[in-house]
Amino acid sequence: MIKIAPSILAADVLNLERDVRKVADAGGDWLHVDIMDAHFVHNLAYSPEVVRRLKEISPVPLDVHLMMDQPGRYLDTFLDAGADILTIHTEIGGDISGMLEKIRRRGAKAGLALKPGTGLSAVMPYLEQTDLILTMTVEPGFGGQVLNEAVPGKIAELRAAGYRGEIEADGGVTEENLGRLIGKGLSVAVMGTAVYTAEDPKGLIRRLHGMGDGREGV
């Protein structure tokens, strides 16, 4: 079954607890939390304290995505705050292997993300150290963008290379295009606006789960 990870970037910041509980009660599997430093991406969002408070109320795992140019400085901070899955970007360079190892050693699942314009060769050396590969289907930083049509092929290539971990897509994922992404090998869909603005979030997530083909991830 495909996992649905509603992104809090699309939630009402003045009613964050309400919206988190709403999407969890509707059947969301993970809660996706984007952390942006205004350097790696041109936006600023969410602190470790927000993650800590979300951990107190969220009945589902926290899928924390560090869109930061120096995530290594903050791994312990976000792990201490309660991240269940912690994802860094391959574009940052540095000791990616060491960071992935540290995340796993701390008991969380380790993710590695790549932007739409980054080739798969950037993540291939680290596949055995990851539990999740996040394929950005839009340029990171802002919600509400349209899915980049060049990205689904990356998902298929990862599966063809034998990757058996979770493959996650973030950006522009909708009920209309999810089936095609699942067909390529997707196992986790980050969805924001589509879920939070749905008239019937529970019905929507039920339909999305029904699109899954039974492929197992981690």
Catalytic residue among 19, 29, 131, 170: 170
* Integer Cα distance of 53 and 49 in angstroms: 6
* Integer Cα distance of 198 and 190 in angstroms: 15
In the chain, where do the E strands start and end?
A: 3-6, 31-37, 44-45, 62-67, 85-89, 109-114, 132-136, 166-170, 188-191
* Integer Cα distance of 14 and 12 in angstroms: 5
Length of the chain: 218
Angle between helices 152-160 and 175-184 (to 10 degrees): 30
Q: Beta partners for 44?
A: 37
* Integer Cα distance of 52 and 38 in angstroms: 21
Write down the residue that tokens 């539990």 correspond to: 131
Per the annotation, the verdict on 25 as an active-site residue is no
Per the annotation, the verdict on 170 as an active-site residue is yes
Catalytic residue among 19, 34, 63, 131: 34
Q: What amino acid positions are annotated as catalytic residues?
A: 34, 170
